[in-house]
């Protein structure tokens, strides 16, 4: 980064400019810092172009185009304004190097890294095209490598898909060697033009050489239109994918969707450039950006060193916009699952990494709490506390005091001691598919196969009381002294835990999942053995409200006192996602991650999704809300939804189930099938701790309590330590 010169502006809008990141044909790019410590790349149109309406329009169109794209693979525009005769755009600052700089400095990427790069870029192109745009200048210099994947920048010549060219006579429409033949010839350039550029990018990344050489621009353009790409130095596996992208006929090029599937790397390849010297370069740049964000305005040596570390020209992005909080939690930390996934050994057993608390446990704990890990080896999963134990995978584990209750193999419920995993009791009459709930610290609620509501003593599983006329199908939530559930004919019902009598029955305000034996809807309680036609919803309760999310993607809240609808239904997405209720607020996933006042449904804040699938179900703990969006796990502030950290975990969208939070760890499954395992993330900085897998089939079901995380998959229950 170069120091400011005399004629450079010192402040634009909320940004105090700290130095010059680079210059281009249209303007300069400065590093800006707002009053709250947020950093941004501020691009300013050159003064000599400010009076040219065509150039001003092109400059502002860059911001409009980038804003139109809903994708995490695109640098986010924070603001655009005209001030003092200067047009400027503030975009998020991306501290990593460009692909061009990375290959020049560290050499070509290996095959796994190229596949991960290509798959991510293909998905970004899909998102760009879905917004009705064509980037038209995809090249290594416009791809920034960050700790969570590549990001596409510079929409300066992006156009709506139906557009031809944006350039005036004599101006090159795009970078020679990356512009498609139809673009070189001034013909209509559609999405296939970006696919051509992606093929050239893959060839460069894999070989360090351009697919179309030649010293003069005209020679390169002639080769693009009439010649063949030079791919001899490209590894065969990459060449097989890149070559069809470089077809002269746009109709013969593959779609971004197909490329994403063809390039998707295996799990071990997903860490791509996240190890080695390039990863250290990215980490150092991000560390320097964090230092700069928190450096004092008088700019001591720390700020100067941080700016020096950022280097020149590799700019575009600050994850947080004006007014966002400062501090190290803002940094983007890469996943570093360096070790192989730890498979569960048959027989399980204890581990040297943990100790149970003594009976004289600390006042803020319980005698049955486990001692947390004092540390961990990044990328290496610790041994389980105990397990695997046989259990049915119909419902998630339910921790109750010193027990964890699960559906038993062969029917009914079983309870195991959390200290040693020994079975404490079994209740054969319960229908585990109807879900179990804890009512206080000493009662487990369940339903039997005839629809009776059962209240079981937690310590021994014996019935405390039974309501045989409940007609209970799927238990939804407990709020204070009320349990809410669906009946076998699809109604909602509430029963008083004090009087054991029904309080109200109501028609659901949202559409539920029609259950049949042994089936379940994603994000809902498993109906298990309930009768056909029974409805299940994603639900949570608190402060006198039952919040429901239906399979129609709508959410609503009812009063737990009388069953009347308080607010909603509101459309949130296309699937049922478990809501989170905490502190008088309901948090909902879907097309937006939203915080609503529980009392009346008033919106407190909303953050749009950057992925086609939308936000997953949220979890709330310690002033943060955790949720997945696409392939990343987010931590956001409960106060305003501001970004605390983001961690990209995989190349495909994560399952929509809520993460599990315990102590300093956040746990999330990596795929819907369960095959890729569960990632444990250090919530203190948003970095990956380890990946855990175990044998079996089917998705993961998780719960946490007492410094343990209980993992259930394929009929095996395991207790894991936390830190």
If phi over 0 gives left and psi between -120 and 50 gives alpha, with beta otherwise, what is residue 469? Answer: alpha
Is residue 606 a contact partner of residue 595, using CB atoms and an 8 Å limit?
yes
Common-topology check for domains 11-93 and 386-515+532-721: no
pTM score, two decimals?
0.53
Residue 532 in this model has a pLDDT that exceeds 50: no
Could you count the other beta carbons within 10 Å of the beta carbon of residue 215? 7
Residue-level length of the chain: 723
Q: Which two tokens stand for residue 381?
A: 């999963």
Residue 526 in 3-state DSSP? coil
DSSP, residue by residue, 327-366: SGGGS-------SPPBPPPTT----TT-EEPPTT--TTS-
Does the structure show a pLDDT above 60 at 717?
yes
The domain at 99-165+175-290 falls in which architecture?
A: Orthogonal Bundle (1.10)
Mean pLDDT value across residues 448-452? 92
Among the ranges 12-16, 298-302, 674-678, which has the highest mean pLDDT value?
674-678
The annotated binding site is made up of 43
pLDDT, tens digit, 9 for 90 and up, residues 537-549: 899 999 899 999 9
* Gap between the Cα atoms of 607 and 596, Å rounded: 12
Helix (H) or strand (E) holding 291: helix 276-294
Quick one: which of 709, 687, 126 has its CA closest to 372? Answer: 709
* Residue 51: Cβ-neighbour burial (10 angstroms; 0-12, 13-18, 19+): exposed
DSSP one-letter string for 89-113: EEEEB--SPBHHHHHHHH-PPPHHH
Domain 386-515+532-721: give its CATH code: 2.130.10.10
> Locate tokens 């062969």: which residue?
410
Q: Which of 226-240, 286-300, 403-417, 579-593 has the lowest mean pLDDT?
A: 286-300
| Of residues 470 and 94, more confidently modeled | 470
Angle value at C-alpha 134, between 132 and 136, nearest 5 degrees:
170
The model's pLDDT over 334-349, given as tens digits with 9 standing for 90+, comes to 222 222 222 222 222 2
DSSP 568: E
Q: Is the pLDDT of residue 514 over 80?
A: no
Q: Which residues are annotated as a binding site for ATP?
A: 43
Q: Identify which of 157, 159, 154, 153 has the alpha carbon closest to the alpha carbon of residue 131.
A: 159
Domain coordinates of the chain in residue numbers?
11-93, 99-165+175-290, 386-515+532-721
Mean pLDDT of 431-440: 79
Pick the CATH number of 11-93 from 3.70.10.10, 3.20.20.140, 3.30.200.20, 3.40.50.300: 3.30.200.20
With a cut of 90, say whether residue 706 has pLDDT above it: yes
* Listed range (49-63, 408-422, 582-596) with the worst mean pLDDT: 49-63
At residue 711, the pLDDT reads: 97
The yes-or-no verdict on residue 253 having pLDDT over 70 is: yes
Count the neighbouring beta carbons within 10 Å of the beta carbon of residue 32. Answer: 30
């Amino acid at each position: 980064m170069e120091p400011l010169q005399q004629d450079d502006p010192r402040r634009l809008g909320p940004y105090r400019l700290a130095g010059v990141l680079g210059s281009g044909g249209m303007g300069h790019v400065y590093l800006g810092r707002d009053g709250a410590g947020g950093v941004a790349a501020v691009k300013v149109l050159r003064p000599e172009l400010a009076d040219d309406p065509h150039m001003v329009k092109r400059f502002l169109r860059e911001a409009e185009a980038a804003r139109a794209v809903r994708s995490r693979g695109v640098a986010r525009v924070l603001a655009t304004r005209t001030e003092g005769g200067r047009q400027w755009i503030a975009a998020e600052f991306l501290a990593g190097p460009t692909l061009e700089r990375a290959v020049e400095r560290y050499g070509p990427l290996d095959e796994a890294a190229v596949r991960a790069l290509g798959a991510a870029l293909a998905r970004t192109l899909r998102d760009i095209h879905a917004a009705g745009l064509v980037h038209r200048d995809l090249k290594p210099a416009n791809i920034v490598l960050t700790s969570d994947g590549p990001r596409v920048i510079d929409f300066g010549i992006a156009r709506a898909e139906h557009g031809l060219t944006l350039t005036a006579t004599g101006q090159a429409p795009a970078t020679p060697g990356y512009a498609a033949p139809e673009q070189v010839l001034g013909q209509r350039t559609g999405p296939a033009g970006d696919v051509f550029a992606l093929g050239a990018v893959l060839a460069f990344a894999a070989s360090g050489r351009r697919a179309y050489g030649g010293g003069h621009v005209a020679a390169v353009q002639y080769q693009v239109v009439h010649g063949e790409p030079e791919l001899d130095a490209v590894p065969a596996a990459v060449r097989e994918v890149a070559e069809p992208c470089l077809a002269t006929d746009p109709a013969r090029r593959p779609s971004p969707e197909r490329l994403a599937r063809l390039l998707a790397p295996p799990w071990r390849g997903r860490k791509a450039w996240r190890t080695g010297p390039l990863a250290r370069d990215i980490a150092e740049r991000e560390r320097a950006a964090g230092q700069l964000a928190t450096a004092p305005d008088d700019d001591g040596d720390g700020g100067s060193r941080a700016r020096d570390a950022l280097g020149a020209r590799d700019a575009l992005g600050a994850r947080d916009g004006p007014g966002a909080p400062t501090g190290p939690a803002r940094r983007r930390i890469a996943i570093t699952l360096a070790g192989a996934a730890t498979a569960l050994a048959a027989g399980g057993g204890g581990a040297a990494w943990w100790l149970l608390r003594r009976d004289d446990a600390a006042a803020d704990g319980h005698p049955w709490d486990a001692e947390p890990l004092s540390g961990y080896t990044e990328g290496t999963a610790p041994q389980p506390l105990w397990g695997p134990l046989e259990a049915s995978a119909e419902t998630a584990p339910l921790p109750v005091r010193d027990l964890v209750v699960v559906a038993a193999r062969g029917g009914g419920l079983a309870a195991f001691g959390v200290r040693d995993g020994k079975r404490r009791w079994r209740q054969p009459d319960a229908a585990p598919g109807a879900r179990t709930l804890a009512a206080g610290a000493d009662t487990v609620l369940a339903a039997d196969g005839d629809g009776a509501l059962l209240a079981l003593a937690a310590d021994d599983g014996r019935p405390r009381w039974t309501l045989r006329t409940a007609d209970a199908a799927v238990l939804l939530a407990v709020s204070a002294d009320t349990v809410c559930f669906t009946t076998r004919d699809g109604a909602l019902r509430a029963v008083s835990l004090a009087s054991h009598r029904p309080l109200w029955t109501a028609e659901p305000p949202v559409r539920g999942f029609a259950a049949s034996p042994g089936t379940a809807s994603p994000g809902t309680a498993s109906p298990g053995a309930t009768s056909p036609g029974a409805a299940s919803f994603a639900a949570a309760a608190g402060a006198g409200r039952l919040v429901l999310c239906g399979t129609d993607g709508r959410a609503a809240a009812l009063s737990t006192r009388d069953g009347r609808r308080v607010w909603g239904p509101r459309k949130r997405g296309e699937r049922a996602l478990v809501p989170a209720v905490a502190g008088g607020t309901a948090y909902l996933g879907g097309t937006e991650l939203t915080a609503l006042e529980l009392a009346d449904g008033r919106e407190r804040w909303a953050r749009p999704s950057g992925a086609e699938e939308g936000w997953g179900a949220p979890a709330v703990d310690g002033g943060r809300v955790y949720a997945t969006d696409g392939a990343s796990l987010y931590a956001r502030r409960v106060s305003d939804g501001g970004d605390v950290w983001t961690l990209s975990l995989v190349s495909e969208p994560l399952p929509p189930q809520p993460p599990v939070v315990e102590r300093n760890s956040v746990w999330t499954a990596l795929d819907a099938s369960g095959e890729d395992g569960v990632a444990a993330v250090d919530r203190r900085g948003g970095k990956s701790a380890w990946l855990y897998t175990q044998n079996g089939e089917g998705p993961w079901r998780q719960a946490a309590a007492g410094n343990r995380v209980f993992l259930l998959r394929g009929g095996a229950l395991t207790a894991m330590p936390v830190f």
